[in-house]
Amino acid sequence: MTINKRVEKARILIEALPYMRQFEGKTFVIKYGGNAMVEESLKTAFAQNIILLRQVGINPVVIHGGGPQIGQIMAQMGLKPHFIDGLRVTDQETVNVVEMVLAGKVNKDIVNLINLNGGRAAGLSGKDGHTIIAKKRKHLRHSPELATPEIIDLGWVGDVERIETQLLSLFKKSDIIPVIAPVGVGEQGETYNINADSVAGEIAIALNAEKLILLTDVLGVKNDKGRLISKLAPEQVPELIKAGTISGGMIPKVKTCVKARAGGVNSAHIIDGRIEHALLLELFTNQGVGTVFL
């Protein structure tokens, strides 16, 4: 390695130093999903990034998805997935598979990955310590033919009713990184499948987190010319949705970020998990790589 390259590495560390000082002792809630959970190099980079955050005094809390993994296991079991308006219809048999895959295999694979790379992680679902209390989702379908919206029964699909933080507070006092599967529990002990982005947002609010970070498979929010919008104020969002600049699957992610900001989270980020070390680039460099809601 030439001396110039070594000097450049030193400059990168110096650039990161003020951010490390600023965020020491703070909580970052990170939703982990998309290609970052599939490609081996990205999986390793994510684990290394999470470990580094903990090493510099930041408290990372990881919430993960697992839609593709659920689909694979269901196919192996001969079960056909059914979606309405992009939402998985979850009957009793399906919710059993969802819990098995998310709280079992996917969760433990992530925990193992962090541990193998030198960190200390522990896995749990929202059922543990009744951390994620859920309620049945009421999905309304609006149609021009109907005077009132149609209520669609999605089965055991839930929304977060509240987050109990007692168990999570124990992790903050230790060096152990919590990895949470987005499975919630109802008031009668029933199991609910919940959107991981929504869970991450609600946990960030409940923990009074410094940052909420959603890893996706897109660069972030783009303008009407397809260019990345690096910074957004929450009050800009309704007009961008109305204009169609923010559309499709990006709408619920953006709304999660806006809700988190309104709930006291200092900043919310949507970043591209397909970029190796995207977390570090977003958090510890002057330019960042995604969209931040300030």
Q: What one-character-per-residue DSSP string does the chain give?
A: --HHHHHHHHHHHHHHHHHHHHHTT-EEEEEE-GGGGTSHHHHHHHHHHHHHHHHTT-EEEEEE--HHHHHHHHHHTTPPP-EETTEE-B-HHHHHHHHIIIIIIIHHHHHHHHHHTT--EEEEETTGGG-EEEEE--EEE--TT-SSPEEE--BSBEEEEEE--HHHHHHHTSSPEEEEE-EEE-TTS-EEE--HHHHHHHHHHHTT-SEEEEEESS-S-B-TTS-B--EE-GGGHHHHHHTTSS-TTHHHHHHHHHHHHHTT-SEEEEEETTSTTHHHHHHHSSS-SSEEE-
Q: Is pLDDT at 213 greater than 90 in this prediction? A: yes
14 within some domain: no
- The CATH number that applies at residue 175 is 3.40.1160.10
Mean pLDDT of 120-132: 95
Q: Is pLDDT at 1 greater than 90 in this prediction? A: no
146 within some domain: yes
Work out the pLDDT band at 167, boundaries 50, 70, 90. Answer: very high
Q: Which residue range(s) make up the domain with 100?
A: 26-285
3 within some domain: no
Work out the pLDDT band at 145, boundaries 50, 70, 90. Answer: low
Q: What is the pLDDT of residues 41-63, one digit of tens each?
A: 999 999 999 999 999 999 999 99
Q: Is pLDDT at 172 greater than 90 in this prediction? A: no
293 within some domain: no
Number of domains present in the structure of the chain: 1
pLDDT attached to residue 78: 87
Average model confidence (pLDDT) across the chain: 89
154 within some domain: yes
Mean pLDDT of 93-119: 93
What pTM does this model have? 0.91
160 within some domain: yes
pLDDT attached to residue 147: 60
More confident residue, 287 or 201: 201
273 within some domain: yes
Q: Is pLDDT at 154 greater than 70 in this prediction? A: yes
Mean pLDDT of 203-230: 92
16 within some domain: no
